[in-house]
Structure 1
Amino acid sequence: MDIVDKAIRNWKLHVLALVLTVIAELIGAKSFKLGPGLLVLVPLLYSFALGALCGIPKLKILKRSDMFEASSLVGVTFFFLMARYGTLVGPSFWKVVESGPALILQEFGNIGTVFFGVPIAVLLGLKREAVGAAFSNAREPNIAIIGEKYGLDTPEGRGVMGVYVTGTVFGAIFCSLLSSFVASTMPFFSPQALAMATGTGSAGMMTAALAPLVEMYPDIKDELTALAAASNMFSGLDGVYMCVFMSLPLANWLVRKMGVKDAPSVPTKAGAQEGGNK
């Protein structure tokens, strides 16, 4: 009964979600020429934008309490989404098995994130914050890693939380635009490889990045969806170990090499507390 009562109490959110979905689907997918590439805008992108507009205080469409309630429903909706993806992995099982080594090895891409993100973060003025901000894509498992090793009320914690919030607000939109642009300008990447690359450990970002690929390659959309879902699952499994044993130590090393003196060589929360007690 609590679930039913909560659904009735939040009727405005459900109606608004339905209206925005209908509007986004009526607009449909649109393609635009952007320099040498093709920019594909999909209904998911419109719904993100429309939802953000509804949160503007001056429009008085949603109250702050409504937004908190909506955020608590996101996880529930992703259960349905991942269940749908799971039904597509089964029929493409052998395709996923054949791509297994590539799906696992792609986690080494975290190293590229470190080499790209840490220098930019330091040049922008960040210090130890660069470690938390650039060692991963800063989703929930990565926050847990930083929280355990440093604590979230630390420069590293502020770094990972800053990127987490930014990714939550802009990540899906960015992934959708980047996916369509790369697919149209870099033909040496197969659509299967691009689908695998969408699985970063975030269901929302994966879905947003996958949507343009499915629109561009409708003949193999089930295969692409299966590979993306499997990739996302692998990222959640081995991505944590990759971050703990490779990308986080590498981010610390690179930050020290760039002249940030206060980055600890052994980042453990317990060790920091002991040092403070002394």
Structure 2
Amino acid sequence: MNIFAKLFFIVLVIVIITEFIGIKKFTIGPGQVVLLPMLYAVIIGLLITPDVLGKRIKGLKKLISKEEIELAGTMVMISLLPLGVKYGTLVGPNILKIIQAGPAFLLQELGNLGTIFLGLPLALLLGLKREAFGATVSICREPTLGVIGERYGINSPEGTGVLGTYLIGTVFGTIFFGILASFAPITGLHPYALAMASGMGSGSMMTAASSSLAVAVPEMKETILAYAATSNMLTGVTGLYSVIFLGIPLNNYLYRKLEPKLGRRGGKKDVREDA
């Protein structure tokens, strides 16, 4: 069977299985955790992928090979192109919403820079090199995955880092943000501010966070969901430019400064510099 046809067939089977399982919700304390089909797809993909979880389940060893894995890496970038077009079409029709949203919605994107200041030093201390750059340039959802993949290549160390954070966010992000939003009101922050913070550019994580927050503050449910959806839309648009013009230059600068001091000794010296 042709490699592309085999890969397409395997993906189709995974999609059918995950859609059949559907969305699962369960309650933890005052909040709600939402498990989406994307999560099941990632888990199934890990189980059948060579050299990811060690020895694979017996019987799956011949299902997918490294040739299919390499092709899948290329196909990820192609599959992200329609998503990039979708984000682009959001700008024109919703430009008035973006203007009316005010500086609060727009400036929230600067919060992504927190992943750089907090995540990069920790990643370097753990021994990562250029993977640390890709993993911490932002919260690493679809726009960031597309930008890093286009600029460095999805199979590069930077691409490995951004893809790793993307997958971790898919597997654990919905659970983490669902639980976090459940208890967020005790911080004393206004529910509208928390709703805005739920829009981090990920539909699954936004849904989990805003749904849990709406359950915790039911009298503001409609407004919370509206703010979260608007914030998520703006993050998808402004986040792209935040990564390109702020995240990448700042992260490269900090990497050059911190890697010689925090990078683990004894490993291969990383002399690569981004243009």
**Residues 167-210 of structure 1, C-alpha deviation per residue, up to 9 Å, x if partnerless?**
121111111122223x14311x1100000001111111100111
1:41 to 32, 35, 43: 32
Paired residues, what number? 217
Confirm or deny: 8 A CA contact 2:124 2:259 kept in the other structure.
no
The structural deviation recorded for 1:13 is 4.2
**RMSD of aligned residue pairs (Cα, Å):** 3.8
**Residues 30-64 of structure 1, C-alpha deviation per residue, up to 9 Å, x if partnerless?**
42xxxxxxx6234x25x779958x95898x9xxx8
2:156 to 154, 157, 164: 154
Structure 1 stretches (4+) deviating beyond 2 angstroms? 9-17, 39-42, 47-52, 54-58, 96-100, 259-265
1-structure distance, mates of 2:19, 2:156: 41
Mind listing any 5+ residue stretches in structure 2 that lack a counterpart?
1-11, 49-56, 65-78, 80-93, 261-268
Superposed, 1:67-86 pairs within 5 Å as none
2:270 to 243, 259, 262: 262
TM-score (norm. length: structure 2): 0.66
TM-score (norm. length: structure 1): 0.65
- Indicate how the Cα distance of structure 1 residues 174 and 30 shifts in structure 2: closer, same or farther if over 3 A, else same: closer
Q: Which residue of 1 aligns with 2:187?
A: 186
Q: Which residue of 2 aligns with 1:85?
A: none
- SS across alignment from 1:41: strand
Confirm or deny: 8 A CA contact 1:256 1:263 kept in the other structure.
no
1-structure distance, mates of 2:110, 2:39: 35
Q: Which residue of 1 aligns with 2:201?
A: 201
**Residue 257 of structure 2 aligns to which amino acid in structure 1?**
K
Mind listing any 5+ residue stretches in structure 1 that lack a counterpart?
1-8, 32-38, 66-74, 76-89, 269-278
The structural deviation recorded for 1:215 is 0.2
The structural deviation recorded for 1:242 is 0.7
Confirm or deny: 8 A CA contact 1:176 1:212 kept in the other structure.
yes
- Indicate how the Cα distance of structure 1 residues 135 and 49 shifts in structure 2: closer, same or farther if over 3 A, else same: closer
- Indicate how the Cα distance of structure 1 residues 167 and 116 shifts in structure 2: closer, same or farther if over 3 A, else same: same
2:123 to 115, 121, 124: 121
1:135 to 134, 137, 143: 137
**Residue 242 of structure 1 aligns to which amino acid in structure 2?**
S
1-structure distance, mates of 2:39, 2:106: 36
1-structure distance, mates of 2:16, 2:119: 40
2-structure distance, mates of 1:212, 1:228: 12
